[in-house]
Copies of this chain bind each other. A is one copy, B any other.
Amino acid sequence: MKNTYNPLSSSIRKKLRQILGKRFLETQEDLRAYSVDASPHSFLPEAVALPESAEEIAQILRLAQKEKFPVIPRGAGTSTTGATLAVKGGLVISLLRLNRILEINREDLVAVVEPGVFTGDFKRAVEEVGLFYPPDPASYEFSTIGGNVACGAGGPKGLKYGTTKDYVLGLEVVTARGEIIFCGRRTMKGVVGYDLVHLFTGSEGTLGVITKLILKLIPKPPCQATLALWLEDTEKAAKAFLEILKAKLFPATAELLDDTTLLAVKRFLEKEILRAQALLLLEFDGAKKQVEEDLLQAQKILKNFGLKLEVATSKQEREKLWRARRLISPALKKIAPGKLADDVVLPRSKVPEFLSFAKNTGEKYGLTVACFGHLGDGNIHVNILFEKNDEIKAQKVRVEILNKVLDLCGTISGEHGIGLTKKGFLPKELSPEVLSLMKGIKQVFDPHNILNPEKIF
């Protein structure tokens, strides 16, 4: 999909100013603020728009379609794959001003929200009325609902509750043509026509700009408990979890920290568990009796697996057990200047094999690989750590690891998406025929390729 774009001429800028007034940004500082996300890359956009309605966005897109300039939708900019970057210049559209929670309906169990609402704020608002919106990317306090849907974000609760994808019922979207459309529904289910909702979900801003979302809610589970198992090695942790599943226990969450990850956050290890080389965190939720029963059974299964088993039921104690997990990102940053991060998913049975492969492959090249993440749904965050001049080695490790993922019937991204940084690996996972169908869809939705160019494909 090669296209040529026109720069934002002064006449285009004038029209954008007419639409947006002061909410059209052009200063260098502003552009720089929108030139980065949580990826290691940076591209300067030509301008930034802060629209306050779908109608404004529709006007912008009609103009972009006519004048052929790129438009890049942006939530909070926490993409780890460079999905928000203005690779071809053009206009970044920030959705942060469309930030109202329009409705939380306790009878229908749905919420209607605008895309710029921060996910954490939304989750709290829902819980205040006794309901529950399960998706919980680690970034939920600083990423948006719109961004979560555009990426198909996942999180620890994915094991029991699925991911963002499973909670989107209906979407208002501004198309590349500048039409405001509604797809999907407000009802729990529906099969009228093709499923456009799931097509927009995870499309990383390449098919349309999401301007309103109808989300499914569920009743809030009244009780939660956390179980921390400190173990001697990582593979054992993965195996312990498989035993939990075999016993037909179905925790809400199963998070893993391997030895390197634990080392990075070691100040949180207490003395007696310093020998621990892995941490498995399980969370059970549901009615009180259910959770009690689950905990007992889980403790019985796990007691022979590890060095120490801790259980917490109060919010405060649970938070303490979660501390190590919450601090992984900053901790890993401290121990190595360079990091190549992937969020692969394996069939659950293949996780133990994969974990030792990743470690060994790192060692083969003299590099450290830290694995952690959502063991529950097989979604392992693989972090290849390297010193400045080792990037080429790190890339080699990455290729070997991603190839192994595909050999084991896994997928190269469970939640972060493709964006810019994983484009090269797409043809490894998807056949030319599948890619050609996807490109055909892109062509239908965005014939001039103005929406978030250079992403995914």
Residues of A near any B CB (own CB < 8 A): 105-110, 130, 151-152, 154, 158-159, 162-163, 165-166, 175, 177, 179, 181-183, 185-196, 198-199, 201-203, 207, 218-220, 222, 242, 245-246, 248-250, 286-287, 289-290, 293-294, 345-349, 377-379, 409-418, 426, 429-431, 433-435, 437-438, 440-445, 456
CB distance from A436 to the nearest CB of B (A): 9
What are 9 A-B interface contacts by the 8 Å CB criterion? A152-B195, A158-B189, A181-B433, A187-B378, A190-B414, A191-B418, A193-B438, A194-B456, A287-B293
Instruction: Find chain B residues with CB under 8 A from A246 CB.
Output: 106-107
Query: Chain B residues near A349 (CB, 8 Å)?
Result: 105, 107-108
A413→B189 CA distance, assembly (Å): 9
The answer to whether B199 and A347 touch across the interface, beta carbons within 8 angstroms, is no
- Contacts A188-B379, A246-B107; A441 near B444 (Cβ below 8 A): yes
Q: Do B163 and A189 touch (CB < 8 A)?
A: yes
A181-B434, A196-B434, A434-B196 in contact; A415/B107 too (CB < 8 A)? no
Contacts A194-B203, A199-B198; is A179 near B444 (CB within 8 Å)?
no
In the complex, what distance in Å separates the CA atom of A346 from the CA atom of B109?
Answer: 12
Query: Are A185 and B286 in contact, with the CB atoms below 8 A?
Result: no
> How far apart are A78's CB and chain B's nearest CB, in angstroms?
15
Among B151, B194, B430, point to the contact of A202 (Cβ < 8 A): B194
Residue of B nearest to A130 (CB): B248
Residues of B within 8 A of A105 (CB): 347, 349
Closest Cβ of chain B: how far from A139's Cβ, in Å?
15
CB distance from A434 to the nearest CB of B (A): 5
Q: How far is the CB of A220 from chain B (nearest CB, A)?
A: 7
A107 partner residues in chain B, CB cutoff 8 A: 242, 245-246, 347-349
Q: How far is the CA of A132 from the CA of B23 in the complex (A)?
A: 53
A203 contacts which chain B residues (CB < 8 A)?
194
The answer to whether B418 and A192 touch across the interface, beta carbons within 8 angstroms, is yes
In the complex, are the beta carbons of A440 and B444 less than 8 A apart? yes
Q: Which of B187, B245, B379 contacts A219 (CB 8 A)?
A: B245
- B433 pairs with A175, CB closer than 8 A: yes
Residues of B within 8 A of A166 (CB): 162, 166
* Interface pairs A-B: 8 shortest CB-CB: A440-B444, A198-B198, A107-B349, A188-B377, A190-B411, A187-B345, A219-B248, A290-B290
